[in-house]
Chain A
């Protein structure tokens, strides 16, 4: 059943070589698994950096009239935190898992274009380095240098040369631009891999839902990243050649930038959250010991989210004043998104229903995800109502809402994915004890931070303020929020320590530690360079179930 008799064991050729050769082999690799790990490792480094930036902000805001950092540093922190987390943590970590898992799950030996894959990773990595080089070179190498401070959505006219002199904003533009090129390259690769490299019998109707989700996500990347790239080109032309796209003095429009940015920015949220749904689709059935409930409905909901999310961007702009027609359209378009997402939540609940649930660490994080994603969706519906948004737009209520999605839903599922697939990637299990510490610390810290963060928002605290007066009564709420951030940090430290420790001392995983059903568990852990010694042939949605239960195969029921 398992193909452990590898002809050329993965990494074996590096025995007795210098560490420089190992480094060189990673730099020059075109293997989808190694590139996936590079993506994930790179994203984890930036996750730590972005997390430190968040902590700096939380220390600054923990008390009224605090002066832990200067206002200028605070502006740089929220700009770099947002940009880093979206473009250099969220995107690469999801592409990393996609790169690693999709070819294995559909029974392919590699991505469709391995060299394009390596190019996409390195161009994205260069974008991240360029963004952070701005700390040194932001002023153009005279003076001390600064990082970008225009906010992650970089509204005009703040980004105009006259208001943001020096080169820090240019570093932001180029860093994001390059990461966009890498994203389109990898998305293209994923689509071609999924459509053209499936193993025999892997029809679209039998594909693991994760592969379906990456197909839809990649499609959204094409349509969403294009506008961002275009807008970045325009901004770069404005700043370096003196054109007037967003220059109000020459008749240009600052609102046009907002439209262009959010035409990218809102689909981007779904680009980030869909892979999290994909992880849930794989993990929840395995730990409920049931096949996923409503496979076709799940696919339809994914495609539906993909389409609807293209037409909701201006709900980020209710406070600009869109007029009644625009308001009505974007309110209802936004509310309609809750239909397919609701279908997904009910399908996950129906999968759990009557299942034999195992509360292993991946499942714990998935359950946390289910509850938190529901709440994030509910505050989302609240904010989708234009008058409500006029009241609370740009407040900490909004910040709490989208962090509920990004941390409560996406990051929780990313942690679940680590606990679930780490054994496949390294061949060793993560420690369950440390995982439980991680889960409970992070859960408590998360709720302390982001549940309470809604309150100062309702009390009128605007986002991105450097500090506030004591008589506003926001102090104790903010102190609790900051304490929550420190508890979350402790949880993440458990996670990092778990990953380092288990790499050497973890229990050996074997090919299929979770008794799972998709193809990646058919090959050894870690998989050999060529993934499968023989190309698999698939006859149902759960090929490994069929192998393990030859008398009761899925093919009879699908």
Chain B
């Protein structure tokens, strides 16, 4: 190390660059959240097929295609919203945000309808069996995260509609979009575990 010290000291003034606070912080949050989700996913897989009574996943679950397509494409729209705001196009960004919020809301609506059907048509609640226990907690934990992201995005959308959004907010919106991408990525795992492997 010793040979490079002097150059580092000399260049310290100009070259001293550290990672961005927001990015590191959001990465940490994502790691911690991943650990929580991992345990719920493990519990789901561990209890697959161990329910002592019905209904089973194969009997009642349908692939939530519409919701999945909406949620995954909302990752794209939020990315466009960030890109537009970075270029200073606040109105365009607001439009993309509106699309994101709408897509997220459709996803949550889909989950609500799915749960309604499971509860009232098939009589599956969190108390029914191990499938109900693990299904509602895993999907519910994810839906809670979607809801949290949706509330924050709606807040930004309101600022956008009121014309308070400008390019100085681009970095914050970018961080929010990291969270949203994470929530989407978790859905990919949940989708595969619950609706593909688990059936």
A binds B: yes
Question: A: which residues have CB within 8 A of B?
Answer: 112-113, 184, 187-188, 191-192, 195-198, 200-201, 203, 205, 218-219, 221-227, 229-231, 233-234, 237, 241-245, 250-253, 256, 260, 263, 537, 539-540, 555-558
Q: In the complex, which of the residues B35, B43, B51, B126 contacts A241, with contact meaning CB atoms closer than 8 Å? A: B126
Q: In the complex, which of the residues A197, A226, A539 contacts B33, with contact meaning CB atoms closer than 8 Å? A: A226
Distance to closest chain A CB from B87 (angstroms) = 26
Are A242 and B130 within 8 A (Cβ)? Answer: no
Using known A-B contacts A196-B18, A229-B36, A537-B12, determine if residue A245 contacts B133 with beta carbons closer than 8 Å.
yes
Residues of A within 8 A of B43 (CB): 230, 234, 245, 256
Are B47 and A251 within 8 A (Cβ)? Answer: yes
Binary flags per residue of B70-94, CB closer than 8 Å to A gives 1, else 0: 0000000000000000000000000
Are B133 and A243 within 8 A (Cβ)? Answer: yes
B1 within 8 A of partner (CB): yes
Interface residues of B, count at CB 8 A: 43
A557: nearest chain-B partner, CB-CB: B2
Are B35 and A201 within 8 A (Cβ)? Answer: no
Are A112 and B133 within 8 A (Cβ)? Answer: no
Distance to closest chain B CB from A293 (angstroms) = 17
Are A226 and B126 within 8 A (Cβ)? Answer: no
Are A558 and B38 within 8 A (Cβ)? Answer: no
Q: Which of B1-60 contact A (CB under 8 A)?
A: 1-2, 5-6, 8-9, 12-13, 16, 18-21, 24-25, 28-29, 31-40, 43, 46-47, 50-52
Using known A-B contacts A201-B9, A243-B127, determine if residue A227 contacts B133 with beta carbons closer than 8 Å.
no
Are A191 and B50 within 8 A (Cβ)? Answer: no
* Between-chain CB contacts (< 8 Å), 7 pairs: A113-B25, A191-B24, A226-B36, A226-B38, A241-B126, A244-B133, A251-B130
Question: How far does the alpha carbon of A225 sit from the alpha carbon of B40 in the complex, in Å?
Answer: 14
Are B130 and A196 within 8 A (Cβ)? Answer: no
Are B38 and A244 within 8 A (Cβ)? Answer: no
Are A242 and B126 within 8 A (Cβ)? Answer: yes
Are A192 and B38 within 8 A (Cβ)? Answer: no
Are A201 and B25 within 8 A (Cβ)? Answer: no
Question: How far does the alpha carbon of A253 sit from the alpha carbon of B12 in the complex, in Å?
Answer: 57
Residues of B within 8 A of A187 (CB): 28, 32
- A-B contacts counted at CB < 8 A amount to 128
B39: nearest chain-A partner, CB-CB: A230
Question: How far does the alpha carbon of A252 sit from the alpha carbon of B1 in the complex, in Å?
Answer: 56
Distance to closest chain B CB from A361 (angstroms) = 35
Question: How far does the alpha carbon of A81 sit from the alpha carbon of B178 in the complex, in Å?
Answer: 41
Residues of B within 8 A of A198 (CB): 18
Are B12 and A201 within 8 A (Cβ)? Answer: yes
**Nearest 9 pairs of A and B residues by beta carbon:** A226-B35, A230-B39, A243-B133, A222-B32, A242-B127, A188-B28, A226-B36, A222-B31, A251-B52
Distance to closest chain B CB from A156 (angstroms) = 13
B154 within 8 A of partner (CB): no
Are B5 and A237 within 8 A (Cβ)? Answer: no
Beyond known contacts A250-B52, A555-B9: 5 more, CB 8 A cutoff: A196-B20, A226-B34, A226-B35, A233-B141, A555-B2
Distance to closest chain B CB from A545 (angstroms) = 15
Are A252 and B36 within 8 A (Cβ)? Answer: no
B129 within 8 A of partner (CB): yes
Are A225 and B35 within 8 A (Cβ)? Answer: yes
Residues of A within 8 A of B141 (CB): 233
A191: nearest chain-B partner, CB-CB: B28
B137 within 8 A of partner (CB): yes
Residues of A within 8 A of B20 (CB): 196
B9: nearest chain-A partner, CB-CB: A539
Q: Which of B86-130 contact A (CB under 8 A)?
A: 126-127, 129-130
Residues of A within 8 A of B8 (CB): 201, 203
Are A195 and B35 within 8 A (Cβ)? Answer: no
Distance to closest chain A CB from B7 (angstroms) = 12
Question: How far does the alpha carbon of A222 sit from the alpha carbon of B141 in the complex, in Å?
Answer: 18
Residues of A within 8 A of B133 (CB): 237, 243-245, 250, 252
Using known A-B contacts A223-B31, A251-B47, A251-B50, determine if residue A244 contacts B129 with beta carbons closer than 8 Å.
yes
Distance to closest chain B CB from A219 (angstroms) = 8
Question: How far does the alpha carbon of A112 sit from the alpha carbon of B24 in the complex, in Å?
Answer: 10
Residues of A within 8 A of B24 (CB): 191-192, 195-196
Are A192 and B32 within 8 A (Cβ)? Answer: no
Residues of A within 8 A of B9 (CB): 201, 539, 555
Are B137 and A112 within 8 A (Cβ)? Answer: no
Determine which residue in A192, A201, A224 has the highest number of CB atoms from chain B within 10 A of its CB, and name it.
Answer: A192
Are B130 and A244 within 8 A (Cβ)? Answer: yes
Distance to closest chain B CB from A446 (angstroms) = 35
B6: nearest chain-A partner, CB-CB: A555
Residues of A within 8 A of B37 (CB): 230
B18: nearest chain-A partner, CB-CB: A196
Are B18 and A197 within 8 A (Cβ)? Answer: yes
Question: How far does the alpha carbon of A231 sit from the alpha carbon of B25 in the complex, in Å?
Answer: 24
Distance to closest chain B CB from A412 (angstroms) = 30
Residues of B within 8 A of A221 (CB): 32
Residues of B within 8 A of A241 (CB): 126-127
Residues of B within 8 A of A222 (CB): 28, 31-32, 35
Distance to closest chain A CB from B51 (angstroms) = 6
Residues of A within 8 A of B1 (CB): 205, 558
Residues of A within 8 A of B137 (CB): 233-234, 237, 243, 245
Question: How far does the alpha carbon of A539 sit from the alpha carbon of B136 in the complex, in Å?
Answer: 55
Using known A-B contacts A184-B32, A557-B2, determine if residue A251 contacts B51 with beta carbons closer than 8 Å.
yes
A227: nearest chain-B partner, CB-CB: B39
Distance to closest chain B CB from A64 (angstroms) = 43
Are B5 and A250 within 8 A (Cβ)? Answer: no
Distance to closest chain A CB from B172 (angstroms) = 13
Using known A-B contacts A237-B133, A252-B130, A557-B2, determine if residue A188 contacts B18 with beta carbons closer than 8 Å.
no
Distance to closest chain A CB from B24 (angstroms) = 5
Residues of B within 8 A of A244 (CB): 127, 129-130, 133
Residues of A within 8 A of B50 (CB): 251
Are A112 and B126 within 8 A (Cβ)? Answer: no
Distance to closest chain B CB from A16 (angstroms) = 37
Residues of B within 8 A of A245 (CB): 43, 133-134, 137
Residues of A within 8 A of B36 (CB): 226-227, 229-230
Question: How far does the alpha carbon of A225 sit from the alpha carbon of B35 in the complex, in Å?
Answer: 8
